[in-house]
Structure 1
Amino acid sequence: MRPTPAAAWIAATAATALLVTGCGSSGQDSAPKKAAPAVDGQDINAHPLADIRQGGTLKTAITQWITQYNVNTVDGAQGDAQDIARTVLPDLFDSDARGAHHINPDFLVSAKVTSSSPQTVEYTLNPKATWSDGKPLSWHDFRTQWRALNGADKAYEAADTSGYDQIAEVGQGAGAHTVKVTFKAPYADWQRLFDPLYPAAHYGTPAAFNKGWSEKVPVSANAFRVGRYDRTAQTITLVPDSRWWGRKPKLDSITYRVLDFTARTDAYLNREIDYATALLPEDYKRLAKTPGTDIRRGARWDEVHISLNGGRGPLKDPRVRQAIQHAVDRKGIDEAFAKDLSFELKPLDNHFFMPNQKGYKDTTGGYADHDLEAARKLLDAAGWKGDGTDAPRTRGGSRLSLDYVLSAGSTSAQVDQAELVQQQLAQVGIKVELKKVPANDYFNQFVNKGNFDLTSFRNVDAVYTSTLTPGFVRPRNGNLFQNFGSVGSPKVDALLRKAGEATDQATAAGLYNQADAELWRLGHSIELYQRPEILAVRSGLANYGAEGLADIDYTKVGWLKK
């Protein structure tokens, strides 16, 4: 998940970008709606390497200055940080357009389950693979990463211990370049572990783990390395690594520049960046008619939701969170967003699976139905009394007031989204104050620390379903993991653990969906829709664009010969 792995995480991630909604201008509403891209849909202008010239720069935008390159911490789970880390660190597995995982031969000769009782995985490393300090990749790196992430030592500020906490031992295999990983319990998504891999010399203590990757990459091992950090210009530049043992990259450099979403269309038109999101009609109309531009579409794992913070204030009461779920008109938000889109927008009724993905089902159980009367009754039961008007409810002399945190870099459409939620909650007596914060602080100082009542962002690229686990498990010992709203239960924790151990895909999907039904009952977060992937990309840029479920191979990205 890339918010996250995520993330990825938590895109997270998982995560990177904020919610993009469109209550904006018309322009495509007379055009017939196309079907959304298939689950394996991608559009990258694929070309053989012989068609690509040597040299040139790829200029791209990121949401914020990267303060942490350890993707296994909460701040490092931010999506742009994950993208850069996977480009400069060992990337053991890559997914294709269907989301299937394959070893990366630059780092692995093989990786396979050699025993099921107990589950044992053996990796054979590419003997040419070395860190930038000259040390070869080895089993020591695997063992050190496991010890940092298995949850045994709370001094390591790990964003996600799932999977690693099911490992019993990591050691050397039969040869100098082999690694043997033995599990205590089966773990279906074992391929997501140790990817990317970090060097033992810079990961073996809590200080190295927590702070050693702050604003820098001390050691790398991939086709590219960081050539320059320019905080003044808010740019990070990657260049080919002369030590690289694999296929030589076509590009001379990749430049990441911090840009607000509101600035990206103009930046593309001014040739300051080489791709921009063309999702909103007002952006699409300007970008699509630009000479030398392709509109590329794909089906990415990409969900948009509203987070509810059950860790503070009125939202500690699950009845208030449930009331918000009933008061928010998800259909109205989706329709406002989709009004001018060129293809269908499907509703999202699941936290774990996309509508075009195997395992998807409606798990809302009625808790997300738009029902103002149900919302009012829940608030009454929670002791928040209203006078029958839209005035804020009160309890014990306090008003029912919540903040909705947005980045100062939000687009007008993102503000429209927040204002729509503000209006909807006012109908049941909940006052919402919009709070804009600096773009560079939005995740690090607000989302990641649970410093909000309501906020909205995306989780992307959760091709491994288990990467979503840290977003839903209960916080422990002050560590939120990626459950920024602190809403969870022992039942959810147990179901997610069983799902992670299930090696049968259908069984795992059933367990994830059971956990999801409980998350809707708890009022964890409000899913809105699967975000379409529509990008404006320079026509001459090959092997890059709307990747869908696939990972980017930056050694193949480049500019076509004229």
Structure 2
Amino acid sequence: MPGTFGRSATAGAVALAAVLAVAGCSSGSSDGKPDPKRSSAAPAAGSQEIDPQPAANVRQGGTVKMAIQQWVSQWNFYQVDGTQGDGQSIVQQVEPSLFTFDAHGNSVLDKDFLVSAQVTSTSPQVVTYRLNPKARWSDGRQLSWQDFATQWKALNGTDDRFLVADTSGYDQIASVTRGAGDQEARVTFRTPYADWQRLFRPLLPAPSIATPDLFNKGWLTKVPITGNSWKISSYDRTAQTVTTVPDPNWWGAKPKLDAIIYRSLDASAQTDAYLNKEIDYASAILPEDYKRLSGSPGTDIRHGARWDEVHITLNGARGPLQDLRVRQAVDLAIDRKGLVEAFSKDLPFPVRPLGNHFFMPNQQGYQDNSGHWGTYDLAGAKQLLDQAGWKDNGAGKARTKDGRQLTLDYVLSAGSSSSATDQAQLVQAQLAQAGVVVHIRQVPANDYFEKYVDTGGFDLVSFRNVDAIFHTLLYSTFQAPKGQQVYGNYGRVTTPQIQQLLDQAARTTDQAASDALYNRADTQIWQQVHSIELYQRPQILAVRKGLANFGASGLADWNYNTMGWTK
């Protein structure tokens, strides 16, 4: 799916690519011998395949058709129900993103919005933003310091009526004031904040988020005000399409395309939609899809190394999983290596179990912190369940306690690919060996996040977190819930020690010291079984040949202004 974290901080809807196989199956060729076509390593950090072309080679005009995995109902990027990845990607296309990411994940100033942005004081830390005076909202107002101030007040966590997905970073700001003029904002932090470049990205218009009612309800069904080179021209609920077009009032270089049409499609339908030319790119990560897509005339297969992890979240706020021993037992009874090998069996490069919640294996700072909690230990799982009082009733039977069976709901989107169901079934079979009954519950795709994941209506659930290049983007994932605010911590599992380490890491500007703090926090996150990391999901996309400056972008943002069809 298109951009999310770093394209924004979000949880992307599940789109797993496991094939149905017994746990522990080997990767490689079917006869057990190494596959000579298989490379020895996944794409490295910084790698991307987007068919880069200069503007002179890209024709003016044309339309690109993309798939999104569900209809978007909440368009406020920062609201608790606005974290769905497709919606966030579209919002970033039409709202100001002050910085963009390059292929190595480095922040680059966007001159269309900012003349400069720099730390102008270190004690206290002050960041001064100078806005491009040409930059305007669709209602005609210039972007100003008041937009910064209003966004900070909505997101800093001091008013619980603003139902915010993530307060981190904004809660470290002491003040936002007017600088030398209305187009200069001075942001003063209470304590040093290393990832300041991730804040105000995107910047939202003050009039549309100034009150709790506007913030929570003003973005339902539509984006009220835009401020980028693109705007949304139509929302067609019947056809399940959203169309963006260039804004004629844009002050920068004109986009190449005439329109981008986003169509809501179940993951299982996207390969056929691509082959029928209803969309112009599709995931080719499933072996059966790869075979069909790679052989399609006029198709490029493009690879990249994205920050993209697949995990299983455990709900520690209800039922048996409130007991840490039960969460740890579930963790030990799940064979991660078997799940990963099932997923990667037919991929062109190996995939290994992920041992970190913050770093990808191809990032500096990565270390495997899973330890004992990353291993498959069925005997250990059974012992923990014994200690928790769940009686073993023999092979093939559910454990019981106080007259209740040990059952868990694994909630799955009806719009997921077949591989997501395969993974759920493998987990179901593995946990059955420990006496844990797993009910796989399919729910409507459009309800998956808003009515189940966001509300904690699950015991187990699997989805992807993507593009968390700034580690503070993950702060809300492990943040302690506050009243009705769960932020991004859908399983409601954390400890004061984890929160303290993440707070320290966010304030630490020395990279090595910061990485060490994140790794210390990660070790505790594994022990608490907040979530079970599975693997880094590769980027393998089928893209219509001739579509330039687009595809597997790796750590970089898509550039909606340069993408287009070659001459």
- Structure 2: runs of 5 or more not aligned: none
Task: State the Cα deviation string for residues 258-312 of structure 1 (Å, max 9, x = none).
Answer: 0001100000000000000001110000000111100000000000001100010
8 Å Cα contact 1:353-1:359 kept in structure 2 = yes
Q: How many Å separate the matches in 1 of 2:187 and 2:550?
A: 34
What is the TM-score with the length of structure 2 in the denominator? 0.96
Q: Pick from 480, 501, 504 the counterpart of residue 510 of structure 2.
A: 504
- Kept in 2: contact 1:6–1:79 (CA 8 A): no
**Residue 256 of structure 2: which of 250, 264, 273 is its match?**
250
Cα separation, partners in 2 of 1:128 and 1:48, compared to 1, 3 Å: same
Cα RMSD after superposing both structures: 1.6
Structure 1 position 405 matched with structure 2 position 392 = no
Of 432, 436, 439, the residue aligned with 1:433 is 439
The answer to whether 1:46 aligns with 2:52 is yes
In 2: Cα distance, 1:8 partner to 1:293 partner: 29
Give the total of aligned pairs.
558
16, 20, 28: which is aligned to 1:19? 16
TM (norm. structure 1) is: 0.97
Partner of 1:5: 5
Cα drift, residue 7 of structure 1: 7.6
The percent identity for this pair of structures is 57
Q: Is the partner of 2:177 in helix, strand or coil?
A: strand
**Residue 87 of structure 1: CA displacement?**
0.3
- Mapped to 2, the partners of 1:237 and 1:24 lie a distance apart of 40
| Alpha-carbon distance, 1:381 to partner | 0.6
Q: C-alpha separation between the residues in 2 aligned to 1:364 and 1:550?
A: 28
> Partner residue of 1:172?
178
Indicate the residue corresponding to 1:361 in structure 2: 367
- The residue type paired with residue 382 of structure 2 is R
Q: Deviations over 1:510-540 (max 9, x none)?
A: 1111111111111111000000100000111
Q: Residue 184 of structure 1 aligns with which residue?
A: 190
Would the aligned equivalents of 1:7 and 1:468 in 2 still touch at CA under 8 Å? no
The aligned counterpart of 2:155 is 149
Answer yes or no: is 1:32 the counterpart of 2:29: no
2:222 paired residue among 207, 216, 224: 216
Give 1:490-529 correspondences, 5 Å limit. Answer: 490-529=496-535
Of 400-409 and 361-370, more deviation after overlay is shown by 361-370
The C-alpha deviation readout for 1:322-341, integer Å capped at 9, x for no partner, is 00110000000111111111
Q: Show the counterpart of 2:97.
A: 91
Aligned residue in 2 for 1:419: 425
Moved more, 151-160 or 381-390: 381-390
Deviation at 1:8, TM superposition (A): 3.9
The letter of the residue matching 2:5 is: P
3-state DSSP of counterpart to 2:82 = helix
* Alignment partners' CA distance in 1, 2:456 and 2:247: 38
Report the alpha carbon displacement of residue 364 of structure 1 after superposing the two structures with TM: 1.2
Q: Distance in 1 between matches of 2:135 and 2:124?
A: 29
Please say if residues 27 and 281 of structure 1, whose CA atoms lie closer than 8 Å, have aligned partners that are also in contact: no
2-structure distance, mates of 1:2, 1:186: 32
Query: Which residue identity is paired with 2:15?
Result: L
In structure 1, distance between residues paired with 2:336 and 2:488: 24
> Aligned partners of 2:285, 2:511: CA distance in 1, in Å?
33
| Superposition deviation, residue 157 in structure 1 | 0.4
TM-superposed deviation, 1:24? 6.8
Q: Which residue of 1 aligns with 2:299?
A: 293
Amino acid at match of 1:33: R
Shift in CA distance, 6/52, structure 1 to aligned 2, threshold 3 Å: closer
1:190 & 1:214 partners in 2: Cα distance?
29
Contact 2:307 2:360 in 1 (8 A): yes
Separation (CA, whole Å) in 2 of partners of 1:414 and 1:321: 21
Paired residue for 1:389? 395
* DSSP-derived class of the 2:372 partner: coil
In structure 1, what residue type is equivalent to 2:13? T
Q: CA shift at 1:6, angstroms? A: 5.9
* Alignment-mate amino acid for residue 20 of structure 2: C
Is the Cα contact below 8 Å between 1:71 and 1:82 reproduced in 2? yes
Alpha-carbon contact 1:353-1:360 (below 8 Å) kept: yes
C-alpha separation in 2, matches of 1:397 and 1:218: 53
Give, in whole Å, the separation in 1 of the partners of 2:497 and 2:463.
26
SS in 1 for 2:92: helix
In the other structure, the counterpart of 1:268 is 274
| Alignment counterpart, residue 197 of structure 1, candidates 203, 207, 221 | 203
- Contact 1:3–1:459 (8 Å) recurs in 2: no
Match of 1:312 in 2: 318
Q: CA deviation at 1:82?
A: 1.0
Distance 1:7 1:17, change over 3 A: farther
8 Å contact 1:17–1:63 — kept in the other structure? no
Structure 1 residue 176, shift from structure 2 partner: 3.2
The more displaced of 20-29 and 473-482 is: 20-29
* Per-residue deviation, 1:215: 1.4
Give distance in 2, aligned partners of 1:321 and 1:19: 23
**Alignment partner of 1:442 out of 448, 456, 472:** 448
* Contact 1:60/1:274 (8 A) holds in 2: yes
The answer (yes or no) to whether the contact 2:6–2:469 under 8 Å persists in 1 is no
Q: CA deviation at 1:252?
A: 0.4
- Decide whether the 8 Å contact of 2:113 with 2:135 is kept in 1: yes
**2:7–2:92: 8 Å Cα contact kept in structure 1?**
no
1:66 aligns with 2:72: yes
Deviations 1:186-227 (A, max 9, x none): 100001111100111111100011111111011001111000
CA distance in 1, matches of 2:309, 2:222: 30
Counterpart of 1:325 in structure 2 is 331
- Structure 2 residue identity aligned to 1:145: Q
Q: Does 1:459 align with 2:460?
A: no
* Structure 1 unpaired stretches of 5+: none
Distance 2:91 2:19 in 1: 31
Separation in structure 1 between the aligned mates of residue 252 and residue 21 of structure 2, nearest angstrom? 47
The whole-number CA distance in structure 2 between the counterparts of 1:2 and 1:487 is 28
Task: Tell me the residue number matched to 1:280.
Answer: 286
Correspondence for 2:555 among 525, 533, 549: 549
